[in-house]
Amino acid sequence: MTQRSETNTSTKGGVSVGNPAPDFSATDAAGEPIRLSERLKNNAVVLFFYPKDDSVVCTAEACAFRDSYEAFTKAGAEVIGISRGDDGTHQRFAAKNRLPFLLLSDADGAIRKLYGVRSVLGVIPGRVTFVIDGEGVVRGKFEALLESQKHVIEALQTLRRIADEAAS
């Protein structure tokens, strides 16, 4: 699958750039409930859906977000990863890779479905990143199953564009 940036139109069954980000609640690796709308009160949010803890590409993606974490916080954004993994697998994955951001459990796939993140070949959960501004509007959407590091690059470019727009 290739990286794609959506336009301001809705796609069938999915969230697109310009749409309000659907609110949701999920548990983090410590089992604590996290609500997206609460996180958006303080920051923009970079929400990345990934297939599975500890897989090669998912580990590379998570570590790329980790390595750029300071750039995200300087840009006023919180990074949140979501997969079907449970709290225990998220705890081990985060500790093993020193991940400084939240990992949320979407065990039943409800959040993935809410955002329209499709599976590849009906089997592999998709890899999609959404950049959501402080007003709760999706400002960027990037989809690339195997090009995990491009999610970080594209998300940072979107945050810079949002900052430039705010400054002008």
Please state the rounded mean pLDDT for residues 17-40.
Answer: 91
Question: Rounded CA gap, 133 and 83, in Å?
Answer: 21
pLDDT in tens, 86-145: 888 999 999 999 999 999 999 898 999 999 898 776 667 888 999 999 899 999 999 877
The gap from C-alpha 14 to its chain's centroid, in whole angstroms, comes to 14
Q: What is the model's pTM?
A: 0.87
Residue 34 near residue 40, CB atoms below 8 Å = no
pLDDT, one tens digit per residue, over 41-90 is: 878 999 999 998 888 889 998 999 999 999 999 999 999 999 988 888 99
63 a catalytic residue: no
In the set 58, 82, 104, 138, the catalytic residue is: 58
Rounded-to-integer distance, Cα 107 and Cα 6, Å:
27
With a cut of 60, say whether residue 8 has pLDDT above it: no
Give the pLDDT band of residue 13 (cuts 50, 70, 90).
low
Measured CA distances, 49 to 74, 81, 145, 161 (Å): 22, 6, 10, 22
CA–CA gap between residue 65 and residue 88 (Å, rounded) = 21
Identify the structural domains of the chain with CATH numbers, from first to last: 25-167 (3.40.30.10)
